[in-house]
Structure 1
Amino acid sequence: MSTRKALSRGKRTGDGLAALQHLQCLHLVFCDRITDIGLRSLSRLQHLRKLNLRECCKIADVALQTLATLKQLQYLDLSRCESITNAGLKVLPPCSTCSACTFHCCDKITDVGLKCLAELHQLQCLDVSGCDKITDVGLESLSKLQQLNDVNLHHCSRITDVGLRSLAALQQLENLNLRACREVTNAGLESLSSLKQLRRLNLCSCNRITNAGVNCLAALQRLQHLDLTYCDKITRAPVMKMLSTLQHLSELKLSSSIRV
């Protein structure tokens, strides 16, 4: 019997899923008629480890009460479930086995919600890209999750250098996406230079960064992927110096105005 099930753009409402009690992986992407009531049947799927509810637009906070009962759940994607709020995140138990959560464009989530997520002691990967109400206060909450290794803050436009000082406490961090975090400056990169495990860094459209910030990146000796597109204050010379230092760098993205 298959332990995986994928449904998309369907009219399923959750009926019948309860019979698949050995299911481990369930994708219900774009199933826009599924509601909180339909998801109640998932509480019987106690072997479920991966659940993708991306763009199931009728799902709201009540659904998270059901999901909190799934004791083996490791991966949860609620991208563009725009009715999810901080109140829903409060019901997720601290003992949850969930190690990866995606809340892309769940724009009702604020710093209060991040404080709730910081109680998920197994969390390693967090995507809150497009949650533009999140500020530095929320990142301070995350700083206690020492096992976090992947954080996506793309278009969290209120994040500043103060928040990056909090992220610098995450010494296991390998992947960090700060694309379009336009308040980030060289001071923030100086804080990030202590992240010795960092392998992937996206600074696209962080257009307050200058050559001094690029010099800070030379300390990231394990860096493999770096995106500096639309960082228009950067010039060629510091980039070339950085390239001579970062021996593991395999991918570098620059704007066309910078010729290497």
Structure 2
Amino acid sequence: MPVDSLCQHISPRTSLLSLSLSGCPRISDFGASSLSGLTQLHTLRLEDCSRVTDAGVAAALRALRLLAHLSLRRCPKLGDGAVAAAAHSPGLQSLRVAHCSGITDIGLAAISPLTNLKQLDVRSVGPITDAGIATVCAANVSLVTLQLGWCSGVTDSSLQTIAKLCECLEVLELYRLARVTDVGVEYLRHMRPHLRLSMYKCSLVSMRDL
């Protein structure tokens, strides 16, 4: 059965709580939007789906108000529209949008209402900056895990913001942040000594800080 037809087939099953459609490159916006009927869904994984766009995902997410866990990783055509639609699920606890290259500071600002968010993965997204990270940290103070990577606009300023505002943060993962230096890392460690910090190829951070 074609994956779009499968999505349409399962849509009336409103009692479904969890759905994974990872690695389905043939799913289109039609299939994604068909998921809007799964109004009791708590967990949705829509990963490695190269054809879906903001339109299809947003059409589904606007109806899925009970979502607690959402993963849209490695969907290259997704951007701010999909992220903004996630804000329709006020109880969302984890949001993973790594490798969705259309996400910017605008998308990060759109998830500000998600005050229950505990985990956020924004590795290798669009051109997010310190301003976007500041918006997220100010609004989502309950964050426990934050993953950042391949974000050329993120500097030591973001690490300082994280240290000041994310009082619940337990895990911070930083990947290939070319403008983060020892100064930001030292400040972070001073302010959050119990934080579990993982770093990978941040070229301006010396070995003593790894």
> CA separation in 1, counterparts of 2:142 and 2:83?
19
Shift of 1:187: 0.8
What do residues 192-240 of structure 1 show as CA deviations (whole Å, max 9, x unaligned)?
Answer: 11201111111121121111101221222542x3112212222356x3x
Quote the residue 2:54 is aligned against. 86
**Aligned length, in residue pairs:** 206
> CA separation in 2, counterparts of 1:151 and 1:203?
12
The runs of 5 or more residues in structure 1 that have no matched partner are: 1-12, 14-33, 240-253, 255-260
Quote the residue 2:109 is aligned against. 140
Work out whether residues 39 and 66 of structure 2, in 8 Å CA contact, stay in contact via their aligned partners in 1.
Answer: yes
Shift of 1:90: 2.6
Work out whether residues 126 and 150 of structure 1, in 8 Å CA contact, stay in contact via their aligned partners in 2.
Answer: yes
Larger radius of gyration: 1
What do residues 136-189 of structure 1 show as CA deviations (whole Å, max 9, x unaligned)?
Answer: 111111122111111111111411111111111211101111022232100111
AA matched with 1:102: S
Higher relative contact order (CA 8 A, sep 6+): 2
> CA separation in 2, counterparts of 1:44 and 1:69?
6
Work out whether residues 152 and 176 of structure 1, in 8 Å CA contact, stay in contact via their aligned partners in 2.
Answer: yes
Quote the residue 1:175 is aligned against. 145
CA RMSD of aligned residues (A): 1.7
Query: SS of the counterpart of 2:123?
Result: coil
What do residues 73-98 of structure 1 show as CA deviations (whole Å, max 9, x unaligned)?
Answer: 11111101111111113322356211
Shift of 1:36: 1.2
Work out whether residues 48 and 70 of structure 1, in 8 Å CA contact, stay in contact via their aligned partners in 2.
Answer: yes
What do residues 50-74 of structure 1 show as CA deviations (whole Å, max 9, x unaligned)?
Answer: 1111011111112233211112211
Structure 1 residues 1-260: aligned runs within 5 Å: 13=1, 34-91=2-59, 92-93=61-62, 96-169=65-138, 170-193=140-163, 194-218=165-189, 219-223=191-195, 225-235=196-206, 239=209, 254=210
Distance change in 2, residues 1:190/1:47 (3 Å): same
Q: TM-score, normalised by structure 2?
A: 0.90
> CA separation in 1, counterparts of 2:202 and 2:54?
33
Percent of aligned positions with the same letter in both sequences? Answer: 29
The runs of 5 or more residues in structure 2 that have no matched partner are: none
AA matched with 1:234: V
> CA separation in 2, counterparts of 1:95 and 1:75?
10
